[in-house]
Amino acid sequence: NAGVTQTPKFRVLKTGQSMTLLCAQDMNHEYMYWYRQDPGMGLRLIHYSVGEGTTAKGEVPDGYNVSRLKKQNFLLGLESAAPSQTSVYFCASTGGTGRSYEQYFGPGTRLTVT
């Protein structure tokens, strides 16, 4: 059981370039999430998905797009990267069973936009 994996681990982009971050989970979880973590800002939710084929906006969705074509994968896209998107990105998933909603996190992707 790999849990939640993220690809790539590190990336450097130039302003205006595009890229896609991949998140995969092998726990058959319904719900998946993308967060960004910045110093002094805690975790902020970018987008999330409550099932295959669904996506929804979180707190800070601007500049990002997502897709959930398969239940186990959740992709985060940056169409035109900006320096303000320099951050550490975390993917998480949860089964959503009962009232618990505990989330399982990936190891993170460190993105630098120059």
Q: Name the residue among 72, 78, 46 with its Cα closest to residue 60.
A: 46
- The amino acid occupying position 99 is R
Least separation in angstroms between residue 98's CB and another protein is 8
The DSSP 8-state label assigned to residue 83 in this structure reads: G
Closer of 26 and 102 to another protein (Cβ): 102
Closer of 43 and 60 to another protein (Cβ): 43
Closer of 30 and 52 to another protein (Cβ): 30
Number of other residues whose CB lies within 10 A of the CB of residue 52: 14
Q: Rounded to whole angstroms, how far apart are CA atoms 109 and 91?
A: 9
Least separation in angstroms between residue 15's CB and another protein is 26
Q: Binding residues for another protein, per CB under 8 A?
A: 4, 30-31, 33, 40-43, 45, 48, 50, 58, 90, 92, 94, 96, 98-108
Least separation in angstroms between residue 2's CB and another protein is 13
Closer of 14 and 42 to another protein (Cβ): 42
Classify each residue of 61-85 as buried b or exposed e, where b means 16 or more C-beta atoms within 10 Å of its C-beta.
Answer: beebebebeebebbbbebeebeeeb
Least separation in angstroms between residue 16's CB and another protein is 29
